[in-house]
Amino acid sequence: MFLFRELHLEDFAFNGQILEIIESALGKNYLTKEELLEDWLRSTDSQLLGVFSETRIIGIRGHYLLKEGQKRQNFEQRLSKLAHITLPQNLGFLAFSAVHPDFRGKGIGKHLLRMGMQWLFQQGCSCLAAVAWISNETPNSEILFQAAGFRMIAELPEWWREESMQRESQCPKCGMPPCKCNGRLYVKDNVT
C-alpha cells in the first residue's frame, strides 16, 4: 500500500531520499538540495508530491504554474529556440517525475500525473504542458501523457543541452554534459 501526498517544508528531512530517486531517473545534478528547498518546498506556485512505502519515499512529482514571471519567461525563451508555439496565459507545467526503480510499473507514475494535473487545474490553469524525454533506455513518460489525453505538439531537439551544461548535470543516457537527448512537448487543455 502506498501513501500519496503533498510534500511540505517539514519533509525536507527526506531530501536525501528525494534527490536519490531524482538522480536515478533524471541524472546527477538535475536538482540540488537548495532548489528542492527554495523552488519546491517553499514556493507557493509549485507543488511537490511524494509517494511513501512505509517510511521511505519511493516516488516524486514536481509541477508548477507558468502564468507569469521569470519561470515563464525562461520557458518561453528556451522553447522559442526550438519551436514556434504560442502558449496560453494560464499554463501549468509538469516539470518532472521519478519513481524508484524497484517500484516502477505499479501505477505510481500514473497516479502522480493525475494528482499533478488536478492541482494545476484547481489553480486556474487552462492548459498543461510537459516535455517527454525520448529514450528507449528509460521508462517512457510519453505513454502516460498520451493515456491522460495529452497531445504532442512539437519535437524539441536536444532539449536539455544548455541546461545540462549550465548545471553540469549528468544525463542517465548521455553521461557527462552536454545532454543530447530529444524531448517532445505535450499539452492538454482543461476540458470540463
Helix (H, G, I), strand (E, B) or coil at 192: coil
Instruction: Please give the Cα distance from 169 to 164 (Å, whole number).
Output: 5
* pTM of the predicted protein model: 0.91
For residue 71, give the C-alpha cell.
519561470
For residue 90, give the C-alpha cell.
494560464
What average pLDDT does the segment 91-113 reach?
Answer: 94
Exposed, middle or buried: residue 177 (CB in 10 Å: 0-12, 13-18, 19+)? buried
Instruction: Please give the Cα distance from 12 to 158 (Å, whole number).
Output: 32
CATH label, 3-189, candidates 3.20.20.150, 3.40.630.30, 3.40.50.300, 3.10.20.600: 3.40.630.30
178 pLDDT higher than 90: yes
pLDDT for res 138: 54
137 pLDDT higher than 70: no
| Cβ atoms of residues 186 and 131 within 8 Å | yes
What contacts 89, CB < 8 A, 6 or more positions away? 67, 68, 126
Instruction: Please give the Cα distance from 138 to 26 (Å, whole number).
Output: 9
- Kindly state the DSSP code that residue 113 receives in the 8-state scheme: H
Instruction: Please give the Cα distance from 67 to 87 (Å, whole number).
Output: 10
pLDDT for res 60: 95
Contacts 24+ apart (CB under 8 A), 33-41: 36/12, 37/9, 37/12, 40/7, 41/7, 41/8, 41/9, 41/11, 41/12
For residue range 26-41, what is the model confidence (pLDDT) as tens digits? 889 988 888 888 888 8
- Kindly state the DSSP code that residue 12 receives in the 8-state scheme: G
Banded model confidence at residue 78, pLDDT cuts 50, 70, 90: confident
What average pLDDT does the segment 37-49 reach?
Answer: 89
Report domain extents, the chain.
3-189
139 pLDDT higher than 60: no
End-to-end CA distance of the chain: give it in Å, rounded: 31
What average pLDDT does the segment 67-88 reach?
Answer: 82
For residue range 140-177, what is the model confidence (pLDDT) as tens digits? 788 999 999 999 999 999 988 998 899 899 988 889 99
